[in-house]
Amino acid sequence: MFEHLPSSVSIYEVSPRDGLQNEAVTVPTTRKVRLIEALVASGLRRIEATSFVSPTWVPQLADADEVTRLLPRKAEVTWSALCPNARGLERARAARMEEIAVFVSVSETHNRRNVNKTVADTLAGFRDVVGPAVKAGLRVRGYLSTLWGCPYEGEIDPRAGLAIARELVGQGCYQISLSDTIGVGTPRQTAAILQLFLAEFSADQLAMHMHDTRGTALSNVMVGLELGIRTFDASVGGLGGCPYAPGAAGNLATEDLVYTLDGMGISTGVDLEKLWLAGQVAKAIVGHELSGKVHRAGVRSLRH
């Protein structure tokens, strides 16, 4: 067991976007920036800061232009934002983003609920985003949602997701984040999905984005580690969910992921104590308990 562990992995922090977009109350811009600054201070180097979508659809992120103007720009930090269309790309370029992300569901029903389009129409629309972004010097990441299961359709054939991933990579996406949007994945299922994708794509073209609805996110990450995946999405405090996925709990908590990897001798470049402090900032700005299980005493006991 655990025969093929890496010396290091990359964590892609999604709390400022995927986390805050699901909050019932809109967080003020200054508080969002305070959270982002705490994430950077912890050592996180890949951060999805916001989403350039219409405020009609995601009012919690209506301040995307202002947030990106206030980002603590550092050479070692890669900033990303979700961009669903050409207008979003214009805003991302104006904001000097280095990377953008596009998103599509494997489930037709979830995709219609999420963006009011078929999967085919969504992919066609990406041709106005992905290619032009790459040509302009931006890297583009693709989210493949509901790959493990859909709240409306139930089980999903991962081969349908593989076909979508081919299209995304063909358009120019450098990495596909495979997403268990509602947190139903189990280790054996995860192994089967990853083996299917790894037969066609290299491990560095894939990431895992696991939700922790049933407490299985870390178990699935362990499967990914064994199979060669080296990029994992996470959200401080477990912030997040999906407004169009009833019953979906938050993302895998970054603190829990870093604590586990640290204990296995796998470097993340993240200071766990500073990350715990970022979790406290997140808790303060959203005003409720979060799902990250790491406590300060646990951080200290790991160090000593």
Place of tokens 């067991």: 1
d(CA 182, CA 190): 14
Instruction: Give the dihedral sign, CA 233/164/173/121.
Output: negative
Provide, for the chain, the percentages of residues in helix, strand and coil under a 3-state DSSP scheme, each rounded to the nearest 5.
Answer: 45, 15, 35
Has 173 been annotated as catalytic?
no
Catalytic residue among 83, 150, 173, 242: 242
d(CA 199, CA 43): 33
Q: Do 12 and 81 meet the contact criterion of CB atoms below 8 Å apart?
A: no
Tokens of 101: 């992300």
SS3 142: strand
Instruction: Please identify every residue annotated as catalytic.
Output: 242
